[in-house]
Amino acid sequence: MKHARVAYAGAIQEATEADGGVRLIDGCIVAEDAVVWLPPIEPRTIFAVGLNYADHARELSFQAPKEPLIFLKGPRSLIGHRGQTGCPAGVKHMHYECELAVVIGRTARKVDRAAAYQYVAGYTVANDYAIRDYLENYYRPNFRVKGRDGTTPLGPWLVDAADVPDPMNLRLRTLVNGKVTQEGSTCDMIFDIPALVAYLSEFLTLDAGDVILTGTPEGLADVHPGDVVITEIDGIGRLENTIVSDERP
């Protein structure tokens, strides 16, 4: 099943997919453009994985890492489907990053790799923008690069893990103004989902609702105010976002 959080008729509601529309908690079905989309979850902690595709590491002239490169993001970095993301004045290198987002379903501590999927509630689509004009260290990007408010669209749907039989074999793509600019597959991750869950839970506790952003393949390009960016993953969803000037986010 596909789940969402939306604002409709003055209230935030849980919703599900139904007949090409959105089924609200009272059973009413409305059109997708009749609601304001919110991130499908409200995580306590957002873990982001850097350079988790070898082709992307090469694209940035870096060697593939030997262990996961993890950094944290605040919850205000998240924004929903069809939202707007601000581009700071003077920025030349703002890059989209289509990523599979893994949502933890229950408390996880020292999880064996073989049992990792038992702790996953589901999956959604993320677009983890990077503003590389501010970059000082690819291995540990500072907050101005990755942590700004509204720079991580998430959604539209949270898809139950049971409905994604092979999350390590999903096609990802990005379209900018209708043109495909990025394509890849989750099968090319350096550290797969079980490895990431096992690695993180070895030294900290993962809680239900926490999110792991699993990285992006090669194919980055600069985006600018006015661009419409769609990141999509087969079987998970199609996430739309518009770039605006930071003066009117």
Q: What's the confidence (pLDDT) of residue 57?
A: 67
In angstroms, the CA 60 to CA 53 distance is: 11
Q: What's the confidence (pLDDT) of residue 147?
A: 75
- Give the predicted TM-score (pTM) of the model: 0.94
In angstroms, the CA 122 to CA 219 distance is: 26
Domains of the chain with CATH codes: 1-38 (2.30.30.370), 39-245 (3.90.850.10)
* Residue range 63-87: mean pLDDT, rounded: 92
In angstroms, the CA 96 to CA 152 distance is: 9
> Does the pLDDT of residue 246 top 90, yes or no?
no
Tell me how far apart the 2 most distant CA atoms of the chain are, in Å: 52
Q: What's the confidence (pLDDT) of residue 126?
A: 98
Q: How confident is the model at residue 134 (pLDDT cuts 50, 70, 90)?
A: confident
> Does the pLDDT of residue 139 top 60, yes or no?
no
> Does the pLDDT of residue 108 top 70, yes or no?
yes
Q: What's the confidence (pLDDT) of residue 249?
A: 42
Taking only the tens place, the pLDDT of each residue in 182-210 is 999 999 999 999 999 999 999 999 999 99
* Residue range 178-185: mean pLDDT, rounded: 97
